[in-house]
Structure 1
Amino acid sequence: MTLLTNLKTQFFTFFSAHKISPFGLILLTVLFLFSVDNTTFWSLGGSIFHGHPLSFAGFLLAVYFLTVAAFSLFGFVWTVKPFLMFIVILSAVTSYYMDRLGVVIDRDMIQNVMVTTVAESKHLVTVGFVTHVVLYGVLPAAVIACVKIKRHGLVRSVAVPVLTFGVSMALAAGLLMADLKSYSSILRERKDLMGSYQPGMPLVSAIRYAKLMTRTANLKVVAIGEDATKGAAYAADRKPVLTIVVAGETARSQNFSLNGYEKDTNPRLAQLPVISFADVNSCGTATAVSLPCMFSKFTRDAYSYEKGISHQNVLDIFDHAGLHVEWWDNNTGHKGIADRVGSRMMTAADGAEFCTSGECTDGVFMRALAEYAQTITRDTVLVLHHIGSHGPTYYLRYPDEFERFKPACRTAEFKNCTAGEIANSYDNTIAYTDEILAQTIEFLNGQTHLSTALVYVSDHGESLGEGGLYLHGSPYFMAPAYQTKVPMILWLSQAFQEQFEIDQACLVDQKDTTLSHDNLFHSLLGMMDIQTSEKDSALDIFASCRSNMKLVQK
């Protein structure tokens, strides 16, 4: 203990005894960040500039000086140390997710982080993560804190940062101009290169996120579909309708055996008369984007966060038409989608046996659903927001007795698991989703006093290590199909088919048609025979599958 204390004392005495200028400290810190926190950036750059080392060197120097220029804005005696301490810790955090998991910290990812829950985020704080942050963030920050800054007169203290900014920008511009054609082409075509740069990407993204929040702080919600009415299917002397819309979480289409996956992950649904649409694209790669988008009237190309929060969605239109609407959540919340309809969060009170780990598996819905169905007297749309396959702790998403594929990864530290173990753990979550969906469908089929239907669609997919990527949230332009191809499953009771005169065989013929989240808004309205000017029949998969085409009215 005495030896350790002496070493610590000598360490901090050494650094506290040497003075350095703010300019020098910035140069050394940026060099440190370049060397330690940018493994992916170096790897991508080396591949892109392969065979052109001088061009790569010029590009690296340009990025270095651009970073120095940005940091020089905080290069004053009273700001330089706090700023650089924050930066090295931030870079340690973001480099861990970029270099270990391939997670790009763009604006959408920051938005996703800001709306996540403690229960969800705690699984990302692993021993490996903490060790990395301490070694490459906290300890360097402690060194910066101990360094003594040279103090100069007021004029020089102000002039040096300004001069540093100007000279650094000039040097960066000169280096880029030396081969502008090549550099501009690379930056345009390979956005993933600068997307991997730490701390550049996180800082730019944070600024973009702050601007977005400021710009949207006082937006008013525009009502849509106030002309909505129930169609001819809602005649007198009939059963109340119960349609369950299941918003899945992190389920990728490629791991559903219904869609051709070699492992039997859907044994229960395969025995039921469901339709699995095999080619469905998501609106985004993270819940904060995809979930509001899929319930909105906007296509992926037209959707934006501003439009999403400033317009009502399909649940509001159901409400306008006189249906009862509720949102039940076992995930991170409804992201504002259910602000104007009923909502509830599932807890251990709804089924303690499903919540033994502090979070609930999706079996928690079943008892509440059984109780709720007995009280239904009105036409109802119920949205169930599953926790599904949310990682990295896939093993917590299913009860132990449902661990069918073994050996399974039972840690959030993917480096401690093989690719096969990670895949097995994830496939167990899909198999458990299969079980819960089958239980829900069988329950609905037994509600003889109701006309029932179920639609399941996931918000986005998941990477399991393919191409060095894990989890989800990659920018859409570079996201692999594993993150953008999602399952969509439909089940209609016989009573529902008859009431709404839907030709199921016609829908089966569409199961391999390319669809997307763009279709969900309009197809839900079409399936439920809700008449409104907001519905686009071209995006309604039910429009051409009515036994009685008189019901097909826009």
Structure 2
Amino acid sequence: MPSVKPHLFRSSILRERISISPVLLTVLAIAFVFSVDNSTFWYIASDVFSGHLLSLVGYMGAVFCLTLGAFSLFAFPWTVKPFLISMLILAAMTSYYVDTLGIIVDRDMIQNVMVTTVAESKHLITLGYVTHVVVFGVFPSLFVMWVRIPPQRRVKAALTPILTCVLSLSLATGLLMADLKSYSSILRERKDFMSSYQPGAPLVGAIRYAKMMSRSANLVLTSTGLDARAGSAYDAPQKPMLTIVVAGETARAQNFSLNGYDVDTNPELSKLPIINFSNTHSCGTATAVSLPCMFSKFSRDSYTFEKGTSTENVLDVLGHAGLHVEWWDNNTGDKTIAARFDTRTLTNLKNPEFCATGECIDGIFLEPLKEYIASVNKDTVLVLHQIGSHGPTYYQRYPAEFERFKPACRTAEFKKCTPMEITNAYDNTIAYTDQMIARTINMLAANEGLATSLIYVSDHGESLGERGLYLHGAPYFMAPETQTHVPMILWMSDAFQSRFSIDESCVAKQKDKALSHDNLFHSLLGLLDIHTAERNPNLDIFTPCKTNIQVAKI
């Protein structure tokens, strides 16, 4: 048998490469993504169009043609391969999280990704994710690289993509017009439908994010509460005041035994004279939105990234009134909330007890906090930003010896854990937060030289597999209560209640009242007797509970 020389064999393979025109290659790539990277999209479609096969075919045909119309604008011989490879990789990356965790990759999710840290994001890069991207992104991209784009005349190469775009959009319009009333109704009622389409949804989200950042690039900071002044609680010589605001992370109210959860996740706080506000809801479902929103003067309905970035927040108002303000962080930063104040970052410290994994658990606050409380000699507001219950590696948010609820999920790949194991790991984080908050309160209570108080409120909640959703960041219109119902707790020392003339029993009567992050800005000002036209007494939960001093009304 005659031997074949290696270089002749390789030349033969190269000569036998399949020749595919740019437009046809685009059609094939879209068909691949459409059928392989859109399991959630097809699942929702089967529910939406149940019993209406022709409507399903017509709508899916329209979506395919719309995608082809958009992608064909890149179907020139010199651009088609780089563009399709980027789309294949993108669709593979996003479809994994959409199909396995129920995440929607919209503008807010992209914003959350852009401001996250390497330490936080690395937990999402699992073996399952890498395998998925290689199989459904890298391998088809290699095929795109391998195929041959046949030579075309310049006029044909330039006009064919444009004609394809026009024809595709025309066909899509015709298909949608055939049953426009039904399709319009579906898009209004089932916003989760197109939000699950890959790579359409993340591309639209990226465009919206870029526009948002462009609009906010040159914004000028607007002052808030320049008229702020300290009320009568500050007139006579008093014990210095220290209020600690704990910004919790990913804690959902449903898993607080203080709220009736049948697992004892709050054994320490239940022993303390706290007020637990059981009906509080968040401004957003992800830190990048919720954290700046909760400290801003804007309501959830009126808050935007541009407003939050360009407007001073409640910490600034407290500063204008003469209070000392600090921010300590064990998360992904203050999101510019504390840009005008002293900040302290406690993440990634070389502490073998609390930072053994490269990230620090919230016990890292305790020792410096003990020293800080002893040193306070002026009226101070200190914000502690926790890592709290941030997933998916819940088991890394508490010490190993603190694993009370077993068996607990000890991996970032939830498909390897049972629902009970995932919940147990999450409940351990809540129990650890319970201990951290209780220990902080006990340190405050032990210092008789200060008038002290503590407010704890989480930035958003978490999904643990309910309705196929995990983690957080769902668009607010479709977010379940587990992602928006958050815990909020208040503790006040006797000295604090006396100095600020607060009737604790009156405040406690509001424990089941419907509250939200909208109340924090105004209630913090009311709690600390800060007079300003920016405070809305209707949103200040302390308005009816002042016994001697009167907080100015607008």
Compute the TM-score of the two structures, normalised by the length of structure 1. 0.97
1:439-454 alignment to 2 at 5 Å? 439-454=439-454
Other-structure match for 1:529: 529
Other-structure match for 1:284: 284
1:63-82 alignment to 2 at 5 Å? 63-82=63-82
CA contact (8 A) 1:422 1:464 kept: yes
Shift of 1:208: 0.7
Q: Distance in 1 between matches of 2:376 and 2:15?
A: 71
Shift of 1:549: 5.5
CA contact (8 A) 2:329 2:347 kept: no
CA contact (8 A) 1:245 1:381 kept: yes
Does residue 1:92 correspond to 2:92, yes or no? yes
Partner-residue secondary structure (3-state), 2:91: helix
Shift of 1:84: 0.2
Shift of 1:14: 7.6
Q: Distance in 2 between matches of 1:341 and 1:28?
A: 55
1:460-475 alignment to 2 at 5 Å? 460-475=460-475
Unaligned runs of 5+ in 1: 1-5
Other-structure match for 1:272: 272
Other-structure match for 2:247: 247
Partner-residue secondary structure (3-state), 2:66: helix
Q: Distance in 1 between matches of 2:434 and 2:16?
A: 61
CA contact (8 A) 2:532 2:552 kept: no
Instruction: Give the aligned length.
Output: 547
Shift of 1:282: 0.4
Other-structure match for 2:518: 518
Other-structure match for 1:3: none
Other-structure match for 2:181: 181
Shift of 1:188: 1.1
Q: Distance in 1 between matches of 2:193 and 2:470?
A: 18
Q: Distance in 2 between matches of 1:140 and 1:247?
A: 44
Partner-residue secondary structure (3-state), 2:211: helix
Write the deviation string for residues 507-545 of structure 1: whole angstroms up to 9, x where unpaired: 111000000000000000000000001000000000111
CA contact (8 A) 1:246 1:456 kept: yes
Which letter maps to 2:99? D
1:109-258 alignment to 2 at 5 Å? 109-258=109-258
Q: Distance in 2 between matches of 1:15 and 1:542?
A: 80
Other-structure match for 2:3: none
Other-structure match for 1:37: 37
CA contact (8 A) 2:500 2:549 kept: no
Q: 1:447 to 1:13 in 2, by over 3 A?
A: farther
Q: Distance in 2 between matches of 1:315 and 1:350?
A: 30
Which letter maps to 1:313? N
Write the deviation string for residues 151-207 of structure 1: whole angstroms up to 9, x where unpaired: 201100010000000000000000000000000110111110000000000001101
Q: Distance in 2 between matches of 1:248 and 1:239?
A: 28
Shift of 1:375: 2.0
CA contact (8 A) 2:331 2:347 kept: no
Which letter maps to 2:398? Y
Shift of 1:372: 1.3
Does residue 1:427 correspond to 2:420, yes or no? no
RMSD: 1.5
Q: 1:311 to 1:30 in 2, by over 3 A?
A: same
Shift of 1:551: 4.2
Shift of 1:15: 9.8
Q: Distance in 1 between matches of 2:119 and 2:36?
A: 30
Shift of 1:373: 1.7
Q: Distance in 1 between matches of 2:432 and 2:376?
A: 27
Partner-residue secondary structure (3-state), 1:384: strand
Which letter maps to 1:129? Y
Write the deviation string for residues 45-71 of structure 1: whole angstroms up to 9, x where unpaired: 000100001100100000000000010
Which letter maps to 2:354? F
CA contact (8 A) 1:105 1:202 kept: yes
Which letter maps to 1:515? L
Partner-residue secondary structure (3-state), 1:334: coil
Which letter maps to 2:162? V
Q: Which piece of structure 1 moves more, 259-268 or 230-239?
A: 230-239
Compute the TM-score of the two structures, normalised by the length of structure 2. 0.97
Structure 1 stretches of 4+ with a deviation exceeding 6 A read none
Partner-residue secondary structure (3-state), 1:338: coil
Q: Distance in 2 between matches of 1:33 and 1:346?
A: 43
